Chain A
Amino acid sequence: MTAIPMMDGLILGGVLFALGLGGLLLRRNLLFILISIEIMLNGTGVAFVAAGSRWGQPDGQVLFLFILAAAAAEVSVGLALLLRYFHQRQTLDADAMTKTNTRG
C-alpha cells in the first residue's frame, strides 16, 4: 500500500506553474498569454490539493474551488476584453498595446 509523497504532488504543481510562466513570458499573442495564465492557475491548484490531501482535510479542495471560481471569472472578462481589443486594433500583439486609449 504505497502512498504518493506530498512532495511529488507539489513538484507536479511547481512544474506546471513554471511551464505556464515560461509560456507567459514567451508568447506575444494575447490569447496565448491568457492560456498560460490558466495553466499557472491550474498548477497552483494542484499544489493546494496535494497539501490538503496530505493532511486528509478538505481545505485544500475548498481552496482549489475558490481558485477555480476566480479563474472562471477572470477568463470570461479577459476574453471579452480581448475580443473588444481585436475589434479595435485588428491585432492581438501584446507589444502593440502600450498605451491606454484616451478619447477627448
Chain B
Amino acid sequence: MTEFLYYAFYVAGAIAVLATALAVTRRGAVHALLYLIVSLLAVAVAFYAMGAPLIAALEVIIYAGAIVVLFVFVVMMLNLGKEARDQERQWLAGRVWIGPVIFSAILLAEVIYFIVRGPAPGVMGGAVEPKQVGMALYGPYLLGVELSSMLLLGALVGATHLGRPPMGGGEARR
C-alpha cells in the first residue's frame, strides 16, 4: 500500500501542477474552473498519500465542492460570453507574461533553495487519524475553532448584505 501511495503522491503532484498551470492560463472562466477542480482533486490524493485522510476528504468536500461551486455560480450569473473570452485573449497577449513569469520563477527558486539547503528534514510518516485531529481541535486549538466560527459568521453577514439588491435605485449603469 505504501508503495502505491508513494507513487500516487508523485503522480498526483504532477497532475496538480499541470492542472494548475493550465487553470491560470485559460481564456474562458469555466475552463479555468474545471482545471482547478482537477487540480484540487489531485491535491486531495496527494493529501491522502501524505497521511492526512481527513484533509483529503475536506479538500474535496469544501474546496472543490463548495468554493469552486461558488465560483461556478458566479460565472453563471455574470453570463460572460464570447466577448469576454476575446478580451482575455487580448489581455494575455505578448509582453504581459514577462513580469509574472520572472517573479514567480524567482520566488520559486528562492523557496526551493530554502527548502533544499537545510539538513535533511525527514520523511512523512503514517496517517494521522481524524480522531486525533478532532481531539487537537477541541483541545489546544479550541480558541482557533471559535475564532474561525466568528470569521465565518462575519463572512456570512457580509455576503448577505452585499448580496441584497442595491439601495435607492442603485448605482448601476451610471
Per the CB under 8 Å rule, do A and B touch in the complex? Answer: yes
**Contact indicator B63/A42 (Cβ below 8 Å):** yes
Query: Chain B residue with minimal CB distance to A101?
Result: B171
B46 surroundings in chain A (CB, below 8 A): 9, 12, 46
Cα distance A66–B58 in the bound complex, in angstroms: 12
Q: Min CB distance, B83 to chain A, in Å? A: 11
The number of residues on chain A lying at the interface, defined by a beta carbon within 8 Å of a beta carbon of chain B, is 76
Checking B24, B124, B137, B163 against A3 with a beta-carbon cut-off of 8 angstroms, the contacting residue is B124
Chain A contact residues: helix, strand, loop or mixed = helix
**Contact indicator A82/B104 (Cβ below 8 Å):** no
B148 surroundings in chain A (CB, below 8 A): 65-66, 69-70
- Report B1-37 CB contacts with A as 1/0, cut-off 8 Å: 0110110011001001100110111000100110010
- Report B81-106 CB contacts with A as 1/0, cut-off 8 Å: 00010011001100011011101110
Q: Min CB distance, A78 to chain B, in Å? A: 9
Top-9 shortest CB links A-B: A23-B24, A73-B155, A25-B100, A22-B104, A80-B162, A3-B123, A18-B108, A69-B148, A26-B100
B32 surroundings in chain A (CB, below 8 A): 32, 35
**Contact indicator A53/B128 (Cβ below 8 Å):** yes
Residue among B49, B68, B104 having the largest count of chain A Cβ atoms under 10 Å:
B104
Given A16-B20, A32-B29, A50-B124: A62 and B63 interface contact (C-beta under 8 Å)? no
Given A49-B50, A88-B171: A81 and B162 interface contact (C-beta under 8 Å)? yes
**Contact indicator A62/B125 (Cβ below 8 Å):** no
- Report B108-152 CB contacts with A as 1/0, cut-off 8 Å: 100110011000111111101000110111000100100010011
